[in-house]
Amino acid sequence: MSVAQQTDNRQAAETLLSVRGVETFYGKIQALRGVDIEVHRGEIVTLIGANGAGKSTLMMTICGNPQARSGQIVYNGQDITNLPTHDIMSMSIAQSPEGRRIFPRMTVIENLQMGAILEDEANFEDDLRKVFTLFPRLKERRGQRGGTLSGGEQQMLAIGRALMSRPKLLLLDEPSLGLAPLVVKQIFEAIRELNTNEGLTVFLVEQNAFHALRLAHRGYVMVNGSITMSGTGRELLAREEVRSAYLEGGAH
């Protein structure tokens, strides 16, 4: 696969996000035990792991809610470990949160408007057109309330809303959750498109290891709050431990 080759060339590329030795606690319970992750500019990096491994916690820690108790998170050369969430999220990082969290009583257009709320209004029309080209379904449903969309459409809306803020780094928390295989394919295709056409850097947290690893340039495997394996997507897919733990059970 040529994508993997490209990645190897990019290994030395600039680091956009780096997570170093991050530990996060919920009260007394330790959720992350010294996590190290690097995301380079223009990459798709995925983090896979079982339920409760701490994947979403890492995502939330990057966003500053909860904040890391120790360790450091650096984005674009700036330490963001102790910044409040709204400051982090206005630094060209966008997130499609776990469970989508679209605004159910607002229309599709209004949801997308909310994504662009910190942006210059002059860009709105252009960005909207881009999102509509990426997800034509959203255009069809533009006047419909968010809560009445199907799960797949809601996920598209959550990603579209994140894209409206013109991010450099897109954080996706389980975009395939509860979706039909065909829709998952569509969404992953869109992510790949964004990455190849626009050079968007994507950090993807997934349980759907097979699809995620096939899509990603590099991947990390998280078990019990620490990273146990890392490598290119292909390498991880080929490894026996990954296959037995995350694929055989899932890939019928």
Partner 1 sequence: MANSTTSASANRPEGAERLSEERREAMRGEPPFVEAPTDDTRLVRALKEAGVTAGLVAVLTLFFFFFRTDIAVGGLNLTVDPKSWIIAVGIAFAGRFLLTYFVFAGERPTIGGWKKVAAASARWPIGKVLGITLLLIALTLPFLLMTLLPGQDRYLLDLSILILTYVMLGWGLNIVVGLAGLLDLGYVAFYAVGAYSFALLATNFDLGFWICLPMAGLFAALWGVMLGFPVLRLRGDYLAIVTLAFGEIIRVVLLNWYDFTGGPNGILGIPKPTLFGLEFSRGEGSFSDFFGLEYSSIQRFVFLYYIILALALLTNFVTMRMRKLPVGRAWEALREDEIACRSLGINTVNVKLTAFATGAMFGGFAGSFFATRQGFISPESFTFIESAIILAIVVLGGLGSQLGVVIASVVMIGGIELLRNLTGLQAIFGAGFDPTQYRMLIFGLAMVLIMVWKPRGLVSTRTPSAIYKEKKTIGADLVAQGEGH
Q: Considering only residues 3, 106, 229, 247, which one is a binding residue for partner 1 as defined by CB under 8 A?
A: 106
Q: Per CB under 8 A, does 63 bind partner 1?
A: yes
Q: How far is the CB of 94 from partner 1 (least distance, A)?
A: 8
Q: Which parts of 190-219 interact with partner 1 (CB under 8 A)?
A: none
Distances (CA, A) of 100 to 96, 247, 249: 6, 25, 26
Q: Considering only residues 4, 117, 180, 238, which one is a binding residue for partner 1 as defined by CB under 8 A?
A: 117
**Partners of residue 172 on adjacent β-strands:** 96, 204
Answer positive or negative: Cα dihedral of 75, 78, 83, 86: negative
Q: Is 250 exposed, middle or buried (0-12, 13-18, 19+ CB in 10 A)?
A: exposed
Q: Per CB under 8 A, does 85 bind partner 1?
A: yes
d(CA 117, CA 152): 24
Report the DSSP pairing between strands 78-79 and 169-173: unpaired
Distances (CA, A) of 153 to 137, 160, 180, 201: 7, 10, 12, 22
Among residues 99 and 178, whose Cβ is nearest to partner 1?
A: 99
Among residues 25 and 124, whose Cβ is nearest to partner 1?
A: 124
Q: How far is the CB of 165 from partner 1 (least distance, A)?
A: 7
Q: Per CB under 8 A, does 154 bind partner 1?
A: no
Question: What does the DSSP assignment read for 129-162?
Answer: HHHHHH-HHHHHTTTSBGGGS-HHHHHHHHHHHH
Candidates 32-40, 41-49, 99-107, 195-203: pick the segment binding partner 1 (CB under 8 A): 99-107
Exposure string over 89-103, b if 16+ CB within 10 A, otherwise e: beeebbbbbbebebb
Q: Per CB under 8 A, does 81 bind partner 1?
A: no
Q: How far is the CB of 241 from partner 1 (least distance, A)?
A: 33
Q: How far is the CB of 133 from partner 1 (least distance, A)?
A: 13
Q: Per CB under 8 A, does 168 bind partner 1?
A: no
Among residues 204 and 237, whose Cβ is nearest to partner 1?
A: 204
Applying CB under 8 A, the site for partner 1 has a residue count of 31
Q: Per CB under 8 A, does 150 bind partner 1?
A: no
- State both tokens at 102: 């679209």
Among residues 95 and 208, whose Cβ is nearest to partner 1?
A: 95
Which pairs count as long-range contacts for 85-90, CB under 8 Å and 24+ apart, including other chains? 88/62, 88/63, 88/64, 89/63, 90/118
- State both tokens at 214: 């096939």
Q: How far is the CB of 168 from partner 1 (least distance, A)?
A: 13
Q: Per CB under 8 A, does 110 bind partner 1?
A: yes
- State both tokens at 107: 């229309």
Residue ranges binding partner 1 (CB under 8 A): 63, 65, 84-90, 94-95, 97, 101-107, 109-110, 113-115, 117-118, 128, 142-143, 161, 165
